[in-house]
C-alpha cells in the first residue's frame, strides 16, 4: 500500500514539478498540472494530506530514492568512506540538476519560520539514506554523530551547489571534498573523546579506511 501511494506521489510530483518555477510550491500548482494532464486533481490532496509541506518533503525523499538508483552500479565497499559520501552527494546533485530552480524555491519555502523542524527531518533522512548506502551499521552514539555531521555537509554543499554556475564542476567537488575532510577529522576526534563500539568492519579487519 505504501509503495502504491509513493508511486502516486512520484507521478504527481513529476507532473507538476516543471510548473513550480512559474506557479510556486503550492497545492494548486499540482492540481492544475494534473487537470491539464486529464487527470483528477483531487488525487493531490488524497495522497498529500499535509498539503504543500508533504509535497515539498516528498521532493526531497524522491531525490534520495533517485540518488540511490544512480548509485546502483557503484560498490561502496570498493571505496574509502569519504569517497562513498562524495559519490552519494554528487549523485544527488546530478539527479537534481534539471530541477535546480525548484530546489532553490524549496529551500526558500523551508526557511519560513515554523517549517524548520520538518526541513531538518528531511535533511536527516537524506543523511541517513547516504550513510545506510555507505554501509554504516553503527548503533551507538556514532550513528547519530555521523548523521548530524553529514547534515551540516548536506546543507552547506546544497547552498554551494545552488550558487554554482556549472562552468567549473571541479570547484564544487573541491568544496565538497573539504567539507567531507572536515567531518571525517571531527568524527575521529569525537571518537577519541567519546569512545564507542567499533563497527563490524573494524572488528573483522574488512573495509576501507576513511
Do 78 and 102 have their domain in common?
Answer: yes
- On the question of pLDDT at 72 being above 60, the answer is yes
Rounded-to-integer distance, Cα 155 and Cα 74, Å:
24
Q: Which pLDDT tens digit goes with each residue over 28-60?
A: 999 999 999 999 999 999 999 999 999 999 999
Do 37 and 99 have their domain in common?
Answer: no
Do 99 and 166 have their domain in common?
Answer: yes
Q: Which pLDDT tens digit goes with each residue over 75-130?
A: 999 999 999 999 999 999 999 999 999 999 999 999 999 999 999 999 999 999 99
Do 38 and 120 have their domain in common?
Answer: no
Do 195 and 173 have their domain in common?
Answer: yes
Asked if the structure places residue 151 within a domain, the reply is yes
Do 19 and 119 have their domain in common?
Answer: no
Do 36 and 76 have their domain in common?
Answer: no
Do 95 and 198 have their domain in common?
Answer: yes
Asked if the structure places residue 210 within a domain, the reply is no
Rounded-to-integer distance, Cα 137 and Cα 200, Å:
8
96: cell is: 537534481
Asked if the structure places residue 10 within a domain, the reply is yes
Last residue of some domain: 9, 29, 49? Answer: 49
Do 136 and 195 have their domain in common?
Answer: yes
Q: Which pLDDT tens digit goes with each residue over 155-183?
A: 999 999 999 876 678 889 999 999 999 98
172: cell is: 564544487
Asked if the structure places residue 108 within a domain, the reply is yes
Do 7 and 69 have their domain in common?
Answer: no
Rounded-to-integer distance, Cα 44 and Cα 8, Å:
9
Task: Show the domain range for 156.
Answer: 56-204
Rounded-to-integer distance, Cα 64 and Cα 125, Å:
8
Rounded-to-integer distance, Cα 30 and Cα 147, Å:
32
Asked if the structure places residue 163 within a domain, the reply is yes
**CATH classification at residue 178:** 1.10.357
Do 8 and 82 have their domain in common?
Answer: no
Calculate ∠ Cα 112-156-184, nearest 5°. Answer: 135
Do 17 and 77 have their domain in common?
Answer: no
Asked if the structure places residue 113 within a domain, the reply is yes
Asked if the structure places residue 209 within a domain, the reply is no
Mean per-residue pLDDT over the chain, rounded = 90
Max intra-chain CA distance, the chain: 60
In the chain, the number of structural domains is 2
Asked if the structure places residue 104 within a domain, the reply is yes
Amino acid at each position: 500500500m505504501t509503495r502504491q501511494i509513493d508511486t502516486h506521489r512520484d507521478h504527481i510530483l513529476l507532473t507538476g514539478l516543471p510548473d513550480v518555477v512559474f506557479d510556486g510550491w503550492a497545492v494548486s500548482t499540482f492540481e492544475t498540472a494534473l487537470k491539464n494532464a486529464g487527470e483528477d486533481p483531487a488525487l493531490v490532496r488524497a495522497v498529500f494530506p499535509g498539503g504543500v509541506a508533504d509535497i515539498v518533503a516528498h521532493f526531497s525523499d524522491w531525490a534520495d530514492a533517485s540518488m540511490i538508483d544512480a548509485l546502483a552500479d557503484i560498490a561502496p565497499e570498493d571505496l574509502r568512506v569519504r569517497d562513498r559520501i562524495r559519490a552519494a552527494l554528487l549523485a544527488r546533485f546530478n539527479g537534481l540538476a534539471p530541477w535546480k530552480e525548484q530546489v532553490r524555491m524549496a529551500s526558500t519555502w523551508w526557511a519560513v519560520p515554523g517549517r524548520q523542524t520538518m526541513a531538518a527531518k528531511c535533511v536527516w533522512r537524506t543523511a541517513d539514506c547516504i550513510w545506510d548506502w555507505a554501509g554504516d551499521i553503527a548503533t551507538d552514539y556514532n550513528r547519530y554523530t555521523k548523521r548530524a555531521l553529514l547534515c551540516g555537509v548536506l546543507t552547506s554543499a546544497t547552498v554551494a551547489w545552488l550558487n554554482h554556475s556549472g562552468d567549473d564542476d571541479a570547484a564544487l567537488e573541491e568544496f565538497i571534498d573539504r567539507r567531507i575532510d572536515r567531518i571525517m577529522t571531527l568524527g575521529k576526534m569525537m571518537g577519541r573523546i567519546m569512545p564507542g563500539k567499533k563497527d563490524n568492519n573494524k572488528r573483522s579487519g574488512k573495509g576501507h579506511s576513511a
